[in-house]
Protein backbone atom coordinates (compact mmCIF):
# COMPACT_ATOMS: atom_id res chain seq x y z
CA UNK A 1 0.00 0.00 0.00
CA UNK A 2 1.32 3.43 -0.96
CA UNK A 3 1.43 6.24 1.54
CA UNK A 4 -1.20 8.12 -0.47
CA UNK A 5 -3.31 5.17 -1.56
CA UNK A 6 -6.82 6.29 -2.47
CA UNK A 7 -6.09 10.00 -1.99
CA UNK A 8 -6.83 12.71 -4.53
CA UNK A 9 -4.19 15.42 -4.90
CA UNK A 10 -3.89 18.68 -6.82
CA UNK A 11 -0.39 19.95 -7.65
CA UNK A 12 0.10 23.36 -9.24
CA UNK A 13 3.15 24.05 -11.36
CA UNK A 14 3.17 20.36 -12.23
CA UNK A 15 4.84 20.66 -15.62
CA UNK A 16 8.46 20.69 -14.53
CA UNK A 17 10.96 20.70 -11.68
CA UNK A 18 9.62 20.17 -8.18
CA UNK A 19 6.01 19.91 -9.41
CA UNK A 20 6.81 17.15 -11.87
CA UNK A 21 8.89 15.21 -9.34
CA UNK A 22 6.09 15.49 -6.80
CA UNK A 23 3.42 14.35 -9.26
CA UNK A 24 5.46 11.29 -10.24
CA UNK A 25 6.14 10.43 -6.60
CA UNK A 26 2.54 10.93 -5.50
CA UNK A 27 1.30 8.70 -8.32
CA UNK A 28 3.79 6.01 -7.33
CA UNK A 29 2.48 6.25 -3.77
CA UNK A 30 -1.08 5.53 -4.91
CA UNK A 31 -2.62 9.00 -5.30
CA UNK A 32 -4.87 10.15 -8.11
CA UNK A 33 -3.22 13.39 -9.19
CA UNK A 34 -4.35 16.48 -11.07
CA UNK A 35 -1.56 18.79 -12.21
CA UNK A 36 -2.14 22.39 -13.27
CA UNK A 37 0.07 24.91 -15.01
CA UNK A 38 0.07 27.62 -17.62
CA UNK A 39 1.94 25.66 -20.33
CA UNK A 40 0.17 22.59 -21.79
CA UNK A 41 3.23 20.84 -23.25
CA UNK A 42 5.19 20.33 -20.03
CA UNK A 43 2.02 19.15 -18.29
CA UNK A 44 1.56 16.48 -20.95
CA UNK A 45 5.18 15.39 -20.48
CA UNK A 46 4.57 14.95 -16.76
CA UNK A 47 1.38 13.01 -17.41
CA UNK A 48 3.30 10.71 -19.75
CA UNK A 49 5.87 10.08 -17.01
CA UNK A 50 3.36 8.92 -14.38
CA UNK A 51 0.24 6.79 -14.57
CA UNK A 52 -3.01 8.33 -13.40
CA UNK A 53 -1.91 11.97 -13.64
CA UNK A 54 -4.49 14.33 -15.14
CA UNK A 55 -3.15 17.58 -16.70
CA UNK A 56 -5.09 20.83 -17.00
CA UNK A 57 -3.75 24.09 -18.40
CA UNK A 58 -4.78 26.96 -16.15
CA UNK A 59 -3.49 30.15 -14.53
CA UNK A 60 -3.78 29.89 -10.74
CA UNK A 61 -3.71 33.67 -10.33
CA UNK A 62 -7.19 33.92 -11.93
CA UNK A 63 -10.21 32.98 -9.76
CA UNK A 64 -12.22 31.61 -12.68
CA UNK A 65 -9.31 29.37 -13.71
CA UNK A 66 -8.92 28.12 -10.14
CA UNK A 67 -12.62 27.24 -10.05
CA UNK A 68 -12.14 25.29 -13.28
CA UNK A 69 -9.27 23.31 -11.72
CA UNK A 70 -11.35 22.36 -8.70
CA UNK A 71 -14.39 21.45 -10.79
CA UNK A 72 -12.28 19.27 -13.09
CA UNK A 73 -10.72 17.47 -10.12
CA UNK A 74 -14.08 16.89 -8.48
CA UNK A 75 -15.59 15.58 -11.71
CA UNK A 76 -12.73 13.40 -12.95
CA UNK A 77 -10.91 12.22 -9.80
CA UNK A 78 -13.05 13.01 -6.77
CA UNK A 79 -12.80 15.30 -3.78
CA UNK A 80 -9.29 16.74 -3.35
CA UNK A 81 -7.74 15.75 -0.03
CA UNK A 82 -4.25 17.11 -0.77
CA UNK A 83 -3.23 20.42 -2.30
CA UNK A 84 0.36 21.27 -3.19
CA UNK A 85 0.77 24.96 -4.04
CA UNK A 86 3.97 24.70 -6.04
CA UNK A 87 3.53 27.12 -8.97
CA UNK A 88 6.11 29.85 -8.66
CA UNK A 89 8.09 32.50 -10.48
CA UNK A 90 11.58 33.78 -9.70
CA UNK A 91 13.38 36.54 -11.57
CA UNK A 92 16.03 38.92 -10.30
CA UNK A 93 14.33 42.28 -10.71
CA UNK A 94 17.11 44.61 -9.57
CA UNK A 95 17.12 46.81 -6.50
CA UNK A 96 13.80 47.69 -4.89
CA UNK A 97 13.58 51.16 -6.49
CA UNK A 98 14.33 49.56 -9.88
CA UNK A 99 11.51 47.02 -9.56
CA UNK A 100 8.50 48.02 -11.63
CA UNK A 101 4.97 47.85 -10.28
CA UNK A 102 4.17 45.35 -13.03
CA UNK A 103 7.05 43.07 -12.02
CA UNK A 104 6.09 43.25 -8.36
CA UNK A 105 2.44 42.48 -9.15
CA UNK A 106 3.42 39.52 -11.34
CA UNK A 107 5.52 37.99 -8.56
CA UNK A 108 2.73 38.47 -6.03
CA UNK A 109 0.13 37.04 -8.43
CA UNK A 110 1.96 33.76 -9.03
CA UNK A 111 3.78 33.26 -5.73
CA UNK A 112 1.11 34.45 -3.27
CA UNK A 113 -2.25 35.22 -4.87
CA UNK A 114 -2.28 31.82 -6.60
CA UNK A 115 -1.80 29.82 -3.38
CA UNK A 116 -4.42 31.99 -1.66
CA UNK A 117 -6.96 31.37 -4.41
CA UNK A 118 -6.25 27.65 -4.60
CA UNK A 119 -6.42 27.25 -0.83
CA UNK A 120 -9.62 29.25 -0.58
CA UNK A 121 -11.22 27.15 -3.31
CA UNK A 122 -10.19 23.73 -1.98
CA UNK A 123 -10.99 24.23 1.70
CA UNK A 124 -14.80 23.87 1.40
CA UNK A 125 -14.29 20.47 -0.22
CA UNK A 126 -11.82 19.41 2.48
CA UNK A 127 -14.24 20.56 5.18
CA UNK A 128 -16.99 18.38 3.72
CA UNK A 129 -14.53 15.47 3.48
CA UNK A 130 -13.53 15.83 7.13
CA UNK A 131 -9.99 17.08 6.61
CA UNK A 132 -7.04 17.40 4.27
CA UNK A 133 -3.44 18.46 3.87
CA UNK A 134 -2.14 21.59 2.15
CA UNK A 135 1.57 21.93 1.39
CA UNK A 136 2.91 25.26 0.20
CA UNK A 137 6.23 25.28 -1.61
CA UNK A 138 8.01 28.36 -0.32
CA UNK A 139 11.67 29.29 -0.29
CA UNK A 140 14.38 29.95 2.22
CA UNK A 141 14.13 33.51 0.88
CA UNK A 142 10.94 33.78 2.92
CA UNK A 143 13.21 33.86 5.97
CA UNK A 144 16.23 35.84 4.75
CA UNK A 145 16.70 38.19 1.83
CA UNK A 146 19.19 38.39 -1.00
CA UNK A 147 19.94 41.41 -3.20
CA UNK A 148 17.82 42.16 -6.28
CA UNK A 149 14.90 39.92 -5.25
CA UNK A 150 12.60 42.16 -3.19
CA UNK A 151 9.42 41.11 -4.99
CA UNK A 152 10.15 37.39 -4.69
CA UNK A 153 11.26 37.58 -1.05
CA UNK A 154 8.16 39.59 -0.16
CA UNK A 155 5.83 37.13 -1.88
CA UNK A 156 7.41 34.08 -0.28
CA UNK A 157 7.39 35.80 3.11
CA UNK A 158 3.67 36.35 2.62
CA UNK A 159 3.27 32.68 1.73
CA UNK A 160 4.89 31.73 5.03
CA UNK A 161 2.30 33.74 6.95
CA UNK A 162 -0.52 32.42 4.75
CA UNK A 163 0.64 28.93 5.73
CA UNK A 164 0.51 29.72 9.44
CA UNK A 165 -2.81 31.57 9.23
CA UNK A 166 -4.41 28.68 7.34
CA UNK A 167 -3.06 26.20 9.87
CA UNK A 168 -4.51 28.14 12.80
CA UNK A 169 -7.88 28.70 11.14
CA UNK A 170 -8.53 25.09 10.15
CA UNK A 171 -6.67 22.83 12.59
CA UNK A 172 -9.88 22.15 14.56
CA UNK A 173 -11.51 20.87 11.34
CA UNK A 174 -8.68 18.46 10.52
CA UNK A 175 -7.10 20.50 7.74
CA UNK A 176 -3.33 20.81 8.05
CA UNK A 177 -1.20 23.39 6.26
CA UNK A 178 2.60 23.34 6.16
CA UNK A 179 5.38 24.79 4.05
CA UNK A 180 8.45 23.23 2.48
CA UNK A 181 11.21 25.82 2.25
CA UNK A 182 13.80 24.83 -0.39
CA UNK A 183 17.08 26.45 -1.16
CA UNK A 184 18.32 26.57 -4.74
CA UNK A 185 17.12 23.47 -6.58
CA UNK A 186 18.25 22.40 -10.04
CA UNK A 187 15.14 23.27 -12.03
CA UNK A 188 14.33 25.11 -15.21
CA UNK A 189 13.57 28.25 -13.17
CA UNK A 190 17.08 28.39 -11.66
CA UNK A 191 19.03 27.19 -14.69
CA UNK A 192 20.75 30.56 -15.15
CA UNK A 193 22.58 29.93 -11.87
CA UNK A 194 23.47 26.25 -11.86
CA UNK A 195 24.40 26.03 -15.54
CA UNK A 196 26.99 28.81 -15.17
CA UNK A 197 30.14 27.18 -13.70
CA UNK A 198 31.56 30.32 -12.13
CA UNK A 199 28.28 31.57 -10.71
CA UNK A 200 27.27 28.10 -9.53
CA UNK A 201 30.53 27.66 -7.63
CA UNK A 202 30.11 31.04 -5.95
CA UNK A 203 26.48 30.48 -4.94
CA UNK A 204 27.19 26.93 -3.73
CA UNK A 205 29.46 28.41 -1.07
CA UNK A 206 26.29 29.60 0.72
CA UNK A 207 25.28 25.96 1.28
CA UNK A 208 27.10 24.07 4.05
CA UNK A 209 26.51 20.81 2.16
CA UNK A 210 28.29 22.35 -0.83
CA UNK A 211 25.70 21.60 -3.49
CA UNK A 212 22.27 22.50 -4.80
CA UNK A 213 19.13 20.45 -4.30
CA UNK A 214 17.44 17.95 -6.58
CA UNK A 215 13.68 18.17 -7.31
CA UNK A 216 13.19 14.64 -5.99
CA UNK A 217 14.59 15.65 -2.60
CA UNK A 218 11.97 18.37 -2.28
CA UNK A 219 9.24 16.03 -3.51
CA UNK A 220 10.01 13.57 -0.71
CA UNK A 221 9.70 16.35 1.86
CA UNK A 222 6.35 17.35 0.34
CA UNK A 223 5.20 13.72 0.50
CA UNK A 224 6.03 13.60 4.21
CA UNK A 225 3.92 16.68 4.93
CA UNK A 226 1.07 15.55 2.67
CA UNK A 227 0.82 12.07 4.18
CA UNK A 228 -0.27 10.78 7.57
CA UNK A 229 3.40 10.54 8.56
CA UNK A 230 3.04 14.16 9.67
CA UNK A 231 -0.43 13.84 11.20
CA UNK A 232 0.44 16.07 14.19
CA UNK A 233 2.23 18.71 12.16
CA UNK A 234 0.60 21.95 11.03
CA UNK A 235 1.83 25.49 10.59
CA UNK A 236 5.38 24.18 10.26
CA UNK A 237 8.18 25.19 7.93
CA UNK A 238 10.43 22.36 6.76
CA UNK A 239 13.76 23.74 5.55
CA UNK A 240 15.24 21.59 2.78
CA UNK A 241 18.17 23.71 1.77
CA UNK A 242 21.47 21.96 2.40
CA UNK A 243 21.92 23.81 5.68
CA UNK A 244 21.75 27.34 4.22
CA UNK A 245 19.10 28.53 6.69
CA UNK A 246 21.19 27.28 9.63
CA UNK A 247 23.99 29.77 8.97
Query: In this predicted model, what pLDDT tens digit does every residue of 2-42 receive, in sequence order?
Result: 999 999 999 999 999 999 999 999 999 999 999 999 999 99
pLDDT confidence of residue 209 = 95
Domain that holds residue 219: 8-185+215-238
Q: Residue 125: inside a domain, yes or no?
A: yes
Q: Give the pTM.
A: 0.96
Q: Give domain status of residue 38, yes or no.
A: yes
Q: Is residue 1 predicted with pLDDT exceeding 70? A: no
Identify whether 197 is part of a domain: no
Confirm whether 190 is domain-assigned.
no
In a domain, 194, yes or no: no
Q: Which of 26, 90, 116, 152 is catalytic?
A: 152
Q: Is residue 1 part of a domain?
A: no
> Is position 152 annotated as part of the catalytic site?
yes
Domain count, the chain: 1
| CA distances to 28, 176, 222, 231 from 236, in Å | 25, 10, 12, 12
The mean pLDDT value for 80-109 works out to 94
Report the CATH number at residue 135: 3.40.50.720
pLDDT of residue 197: 87
Residue 209 within any structural domain of the chain: no
**Cβ contacts of residue 211 below 8 Å, gap of 6+?**
204, 242
Q: For 172-197, how does the pLDDT look when each residue is reduced to its tens digit (9 = 90+)?
A: 999 999 999 999 999 988 888 888 88
Amino acid sequence: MGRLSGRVAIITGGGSGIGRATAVLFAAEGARVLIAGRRPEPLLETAAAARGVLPIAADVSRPEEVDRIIECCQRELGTPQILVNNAGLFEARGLLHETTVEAFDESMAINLRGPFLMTRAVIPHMLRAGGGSIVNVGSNLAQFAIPHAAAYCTAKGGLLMLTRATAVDYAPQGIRCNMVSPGLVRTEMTAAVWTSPGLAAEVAKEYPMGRFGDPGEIARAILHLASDESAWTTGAVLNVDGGASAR
